[in-house]
Amino acid sequence: MDVLTRVEPERIDRLLRGDEFFWLDLVDPSDDVLDALAAQLGLHPLAVEDSKEFGQRPKVDRYRDAVLLVYYTALVADGDRLPELLEVHCHVSGGWLLTVRRKACAELDRLHETLVPHEVAAEDFIVYSVLDSMTDALYPAIDRLEATIDGLEARVLARPDRPQLAEIYRIKQDVHGFLRPLVAQRDQVGTAGEAIHELPGLTHGSREYMRDVADHLAQVVGELNRQAEDLNALTSTYFNANTNRLNITITRLTVVATFFLIWTLVTSFFGQNFGWLVRHIDTPEAFVGYGIGGLLLPTAAAGVYFWRRRREWR
């Protein structure tokens, strides 16, 4: 089985004449290259037009002797950058597989070397291998999102901060950005399997191949749904943590204000200049006894009360 990474008209023509199944994997081809390739492979004009215009939702288009499958995989960059989706157009025929993408994909590049040495009796196994590799590439993306959410949750629980709320919403948008195409992809993979099995001239293996891809997609979508729920819960956790921190601050201010209220009450009482007070508080001992004592006793009582109730306010 031959794997081509660039258009080689003579080699492609030889493979077509020999009825040898091959995989042509192109990265960001020009429109002229696609037009020339369409003429050589007999691609439907609508299929060629679709592969010139990326940004489409997952879909399965059946033509007379070929199927166009718009499939999404994921790219995980080094560092802390969040993963991104990669759109791949898979044209499947009874004699060849053509994949078109705009960016490099490490999983597909590694698959080139894996498939070349092998003689594959079931040609649809090649299609399955490509789809399975792109599906498996979604798992590291899910793990990266999970690690990001866990780290953010730990920071929110430790000390909620305003920028964290914006980060929560940003990650939530990324998760929903993954969910929208992958849910449609999961729902259409069965239809894609049937369309591929009905292609004339394509040797078939077990139908379990495409069911395996469908199972993996269901797992990925399930994990993304759980992460979306976790982010919703994390939003509530952020507001609750902020409310708790505000309550603690208000409690502390209330305790301080209570002491100032006691001191204000005592000093204002002595400031009324009652005749008895004026006549009897005329020595340092009397000042200490009535003045300082009048402040210390209620302060100590309030302090003991607040100390005993401190656990209730945490």
Range of the domain at 191: 2-242
Let me know whether 189 and 284 are in one domain.
no
Let me know whether 148 and 283 are in one domain.
no
For every one of its 314 residues, what pLDDT tens digit does the chain have, with 9 covering 90 and above? 788 888 888 998 998 888 888 899 999 999 999 999 999 999 999 999 999 999 899 999 999 889 999 999 999 887 777 899 999 999 999 889 999 999 988 888 888 887 765 565 567 788 888 999 999 999 999 999 999 999 999 988 888 888 888 999 999 999 999 999 999 999 998 888 888 888 887 776 555 677 888 899 999 999 999 999 999 999 888 888 777 777 777 888 888 888 888 888 777 777 666 677 667 677 777 777 777 777 788 888 888 888 887 776 66
In angstroms, the CA 72 to CA 181 distance is 7
DSSP strand pairing (22-27 vs 96-101): parallel
For residue 236, the domain's CATH number is 3.30.460.20
Sheet with 84-93, side-by-side order of all strands: 2-4, 22-27, 96-101, 84-93, 66-75, 59-62
Domain edge (last residue) among 199, 217, 242: 242
Closest residue by Cα to residue 48 from 91, 105, 95: 91
pLDDT of res. 32: 92
Contacts of 162 (CB under 8 A, 6+ apart): none
pLDDT of res. 260: 86
Let me know whether 278 and 132 are in one domain.
no
pLDDT of res. 199: 84
Let me know whether 218 and 271 are in one domain.
no
In angstroms, the CA 271 to CA 261 distance is 15
Let me know whether 238 and 299 are in one domain.
no
Bridge partners (DSSP) listed for residue 66: 93
pLDDT of res. 119: 61
Let me know whether 282 and 216 are in one domain.
no
pLDDT of res. 179: 93
Domain edge (last residue) among 224, 242, 260: 242
Domain edge (last residue) among 211, 242, 273: 242
Let me know whether 106 and 231 are in one domain.
yes
Both tokens of 7, joined, read 């258009």
Let me know whether 13 and 101 are in one domain.
yes
Let me know whether 271 and 125 are in one domain.
no
Within a 10 A sphere around the Cβ of 234, how many other Cβ atoms?
Answer: 20
Both tokens of 254, joined, read 């209330």
pLDDT of res. 305: 82
Let me know whether 74 and 31 are in one domain.
yes
Let me know whether 19 and 104 are in one domain.
yes
pLDDT of res. 81: 79
